[in-house]
Structure 1
Amino acid sequence: MDDRLVAAFAVMEASGFIAPFLFILFHILRQFLFIPVALVCMAGGLLFGSVFGSIYSLIGLTLLSVLFFFVIKGVPTFAERLLKLKEKWFGRNAVLTTGQIAVLKLIPFVHYQLLNLCLLERHREFKPFLRAAFLSNIPLAFFYTVFGQYITTFSPPIIVMIILSLAVLFYLLREKVRVISWNEFFPSK
């Protein structure tokens, strides 16, 4: 585990009743330390147990999404960089559903703020964005907090099966749109 992460959690463990607040704050600050979300959620499960670790991770990730909402509106260069990254990963016209974003958040190497940008493109107002961010963070917080200690012991075939099942779930949660051509809609006699 990263030395910065170990040091931060040693401080939290020794801080007593303010540990949950420090953990939630660490969720917000972890992006500046380049620590993956999954590691922080796993550590929350070890520090606070599955239930409270999931709750604290969910609160921290939702507050991070709220911070993202206001920062992205105030820093257009950050938004442009993320839009270029989105175009590179998903294509120019990709519009992901909240379910797809929740599945992608479970994959550790997908950029968390990029997925928040995809949520923001779908939900421009604050309340719908906050609701979608909260819902898409639930699987992430729950999965990595509860099952985090077991993930490291998975064999490569199990990891491949999990990734494949996430890919199938991603496909099933897509927005279903059927394009009808002009000639099909208005058949000629």
Structure 2
Amino acid sequence: MDQFDQSLEVFIEGTGWLAPVLYILLHLFRPFLFLPVIVVCILGGVLFGFIKGAILSFIGLTLMSLVSYKLVFRFPKFKEKISKLKEKMFKDKSISVSQVMILRIMPFVHFHLLSLYLIEMTKSFKDYMYYSMLGLILPSIIYTGFGESITALPWYITSIFFVVLVAIFYIIDKYNQGQLSIKGREYD
């Protein structure tokens, strides 16, 4: 295993500036390769270490958010497919920006679906990119730094982590519904 780590380190050093560029491009081509975000971020932690891997993951995911925005507005069929997925997964449910950020942390939640939610919630491209980038900080850090640890943990600890994230998601949902009903009474 040590020999593998050393050869990997030599390979990364040998590629110089090309390795980070290829890694960022991997984030952009990830959906076509059917790779989950968590896998690519873990790879970044293994190849580049925690800090550089997290920064490169953040850059790659931010560029993917930009691509998602462009895809939604340039290709109506793409938006239609994602909208159908949205209707299927969260039928008649509004989700807040906070919940989108929690969902970004959860592995295997569709990246473009969450981007569509953000697009629909924000008023401009600038707002979309702001909230999108804000929501990508934690996944970049968690998956890169702790992703390998999380996947190495026993299944029950990983399950507990997932349950905690789901609980936070629903607590925020209840809080937002309470806020909406309070705001609704103010206008009556």
Bin for the TM-score computed over the shorter chain: 0.7 to 0.9
User: Number of matched residues?
Assistant: 175
Question: Which stretch of structure 1 is more off in the superposition, 70-79 or 97-106?
Answer: 97-106
Within 2, Cα distance between the matches of 1:37 and 1:154?
19
Within 2, Cα distance between the matches of 1:178 and 1:72?
28
Structure 2 counterpart of 1:86, which letter?
Answer: K
1:151 offset after TM fit, Å? 1.4
Cα deviations across residues 41-94 of structure 1 (Å, max 9, x unaligned)? 0000011110110011001100110111111101111111111110111113x2
How well do the aligned residues superpose, as a CA RMSD in angstroms? 2.4
TM-score by length of 2: 0.84
Q: Give the corresponding residue for 1:166.
A: 165
Which stretches in structure 2 are left out of the alignment for 5+ residues?
1-7
Moved over 4 A (4+): none
Q: 1:178 to 1:119 in 2, by over 3 A?
A: closer
Q: Which runs of structure 2 are paired with 1:10-21 in the superposition (5 Å)?
A: 13=12, 14-21=14-21
Structure 1 counterpart of 2:80, which letter?
Answer: E
Which structure shows the higher helix fraction? 2
Structure 2 counterpart of 1:179, which letter?
Answer: S
Q: Give the corresponding residue for 1:156.
A: 155
Q: Give the corresponding residue for 2:43.
A: 43
Q: Give the corresponding residue for 2:101.
A: 102
Q: Is the 8 A contact 2:105 2:139 kept in 1?
A: yes
Which stretches in structure 1 are left out of the alignment for 5+ residues?
1-8
Q: Percent identity?
A: 37
State the SS of the aligned residue for 1:34. coil
Q: Is the 8 A contact 1:28 1:60 kept in 2?
A: yes
Q: Is the 8 A contact 1:20 1:56 kept in 2?
A: yes
